[in-house]
Structure 1
C-alpha cells in the first residue's frame, strides 16, 4: 500500500512540479491525490505526464482557486465514482486479492459560512468509505466540532502520523510563525484491518507550506549513486557541486529534523534559509541534467523530469563502445583492444594517402581568396576575435564539424551521371568514402515518377525522401 496526498496550493511554478516529481520517484506511490493545484486542465495534464502517473482524473480550477487531481499508476485498477470541486471519489481493486476499497480525496470548502455544506457532503460519501485525505483553511472551534461530528457519522478513524505534529506552516519567522494540522488521513475499521501495518508520514518539502501525507506500509528511500567527477554547466552557478545529490539528501534530512524541533518558532529563520538552499541546489541539479540531455529546444524551466534523465542516460548508452571491428574484420571487446583499433583508425584517417588526382580537383576550384585576404586569414588571432567566437558557441554544447553538403542538378540521366562522377572524384581525391545509406535524394514535386525511378536506380542505395 503506497498512496500520497498533498494540498500543494499551486503547482504553477516549475520548482513545484519538480518536487512533486521527486516525491513520486522517491516513494513510488500507486495513487496520488492533489488539492489546490490552481491549474487549468491542459496544464495539469502536463504535470501528470511529468510525474509518470499517466492515469488520472483532473478537476480544473474555477477562477483562480481550487483544482483537484487524482493520479494513479497502471499497476492498479481505479474506477471513479464521482467528483466535484471538493472531492474525487473512486474504488480501488487490489489485483492480488481482488480486495476492493474506496478512496475519497476531499478538500473542505474554504468559505467559512459554507463549511456545514462540506460536512454534509462528507456524510453523503460515507457509504462503504475506505480512506479520506482532507485539507482546508484554519477553523474555529465550532467548525472543528462540525468536522468531528461528520467523522463520527462516517465511522472513520484517524490513522495517526509519523513526523512533525503539524501539516501546515505560515512560513513567517519568530513569534509570527504558526503551525496547524490541517491535513489528515482517515479510514474505516475494515480498511485498517486489511492494511494492518500502514502508517501516515508527514513529509516536509522545501517549496510548499503544506506537508505531504505519505500513506504506506513500506518506508524507504532510493537515491542515485555517485557519479564520476567531471565538469558540468551547473558549476558555473555553484562551484562546490561535486556531490550535489548527496548534499540535497543531507539538507532535506536536516530540514525535517529542524521542523520536528521547532516548537515555538525559534528555528524559523534557519528553516527558511535551509529551504532556499535546497531549492538552489535542485536548480543546479536540473541544469546538470539539461546539459547532459543535450535538448536545447526544451527550456531550463521544464525541470528535472524523467524525460531529461532518460535523454541523458540514452546518450550515455549511444556513446558507449562495447566492441569494435578492425580493418581486417576482427572484433575487439577489451578496453585495450578497442583503444588500439581507434588510435590506428585515426592515424590512418589523418595520414595522407597521396591521392593521384588531387590536382584535378584543385584546378576545378576557382580562386576566391586573394593574396591580401590570405594574409589576413593567417595572421595571429586577437583577444577580441577569440572572445567573439566563444560567445557564439552554445553555453552547454561542444562544437563539432558540419560535414553535410547539398548538391543541385536537374533530374535527368546526363546530369545525374555528372553528379556521380563528381562524387567518385571526391572519394579518390580525399580518401573518404561517401556513405550512401546516410545520403538522400530530394526531388521537386513536379518530377515525374518514371524520372525519379531512373535517377534512383543510377544513385544506388540513396533513398527518395
Structure 2
C-alpha cells in the first residue's frame, strides 16, 4: 500500500503542475500502471486502487491519451506460456492545448528490442503545415474582403485570422528554437558540421 500512496502523491504533484500549464504539454514514458483491465494479460489480478488513482490523475489534470499505433501492450516480462505477462505501461498523455496545435500528432509504439519496453516515438505534424493553413485562411478572407470591403463580419474574421497566424508563427518559432537547442545539446559545439552551420 505504500507504493500506491507514494504513487498517488506523485500524481497529485504532477496534476498541480498540469493545472498551471496553458501551453501545449505532453507527459510520456513508463507510468508503471495501467488504465483498464484490458491493458494487461497474465500475472496477478489488476490492482484496482492504483488504476483508479491513475485515471483520476489523468482526468483531473485535463490530459488524454494521444492517438497511437503499433504495439497495444508496451511491456512484457519476456517469459513464455502461462508465465508471460504483458501490459500497456507506456503512453503519451497530452493536454487540450497540445491537440489544438498538433492536431495530426500521434505516438508510435514499436516492438520491444533490447529493452522489455516498446520504444516510443511521438510524430508531430510538420510545423509549416499549420502556418500554411493559417496563411491560407487569412488570404481567403482578405480576398473576400477586397470584394466586400464594408462587410463587418469579414473585418472581424480578418482580425481573428491575423491573430491565428501570429500565434501559429510564434508556436513555430518556439518549436524551432527548442529543436535547435536539443540538437545543440546532442551534438555539442565540437568540431562538426552542425557547429559551423550554426
* TM-score, with length taken from structure 2: 0.51
What is the 5 A alignment of 1:179-258? 179-217=86-124
What is the 5 A alignment of 1:10-159? 111-126=3-18, 127-128=20-21, 130-138=25-33, 140-159=47-66
Deviations 1:362-409 (A, max 9, x none): xxxxxxxxxxxxxxxxxxxxxxxxxxxxxxxxxxxxxxxxxxxxxxxx
Q: Where do 5+ consecutive residues of structure 1 fail to align?
A: 1-109, 220-305, 307-465
Shift of 1:116: 1.5
Shift of 1:132: 0.6
The 3-state SS of whatever aligns with 2:69 is coil
Q: Where do 5+ consecutive residues of structure 2 fail to align?
A: 35-46, 127-186, 188-198
Q: What CA distance in whole angstroms lies between the structure 1 residues aligned with 2:31 and 2:56? A: 17
8 Å CA contact retained: 2:105, 2:122? yes
Q: What CA distance in whole angstroms lies between the structure 1 residues aligned with 2:68 and 2:110? A: 10
What is the 5 A alignment of 1:167-182? 167-182=74-89
Q: Which has the higher contact order (CA 8 A, sep 6+)?
A: 2
The 3-state SS of whatever aligns with 1:190 is helix
Q: What CA distance in whole angstroms lies between the structure 1 residues aligned with 2:9 and 2:27? A: 17
Aligned to 1:160: 67
Q: What CA distance in whole angstroms lies between the structure 1 residues aligned with 2:104 and 2:98? A: 11
Deviations 1:151-185 (A, max 9, x none): 11111111131011111111001121111001111
Residue-pair matches, total = 111
Shift of 1:137: 3.1
8 Å CA contact retained: 2:63, 2:95? yes
Q: What CA distance in whole angstroms lies between the structure 2 residues aligned with 1:155 and 1:218? A: 22
Q: What CA distance in whole angstroms lies between the structure 1 residues aligned with 2:124 and 2:33? A: 30
Deviations 1:89-125 (A, max 9, x none): xxxxxxxxxxxxxxxxxxxxx9333121111111121
Deviations 1:202-242 (A, max 9, x none): 022420001122110369xxxxxxxxxxxxxxxxxxxxxxx
Q: What CA distance in whole angstroms lies between the structure 2 residues aligned with 1:205 and 1:135? A: 13
**Larger helix percent:** 2
Q: What CA distance in whole angstroms lies between the structure 2 residues aligned with 1:134 and 1:144? A: 16
**After the TM superposition, which segments of 4 or more aligned residues of structure 1 sit over 6 Å from their partners?**
none
Shift of 1:134: 3.6
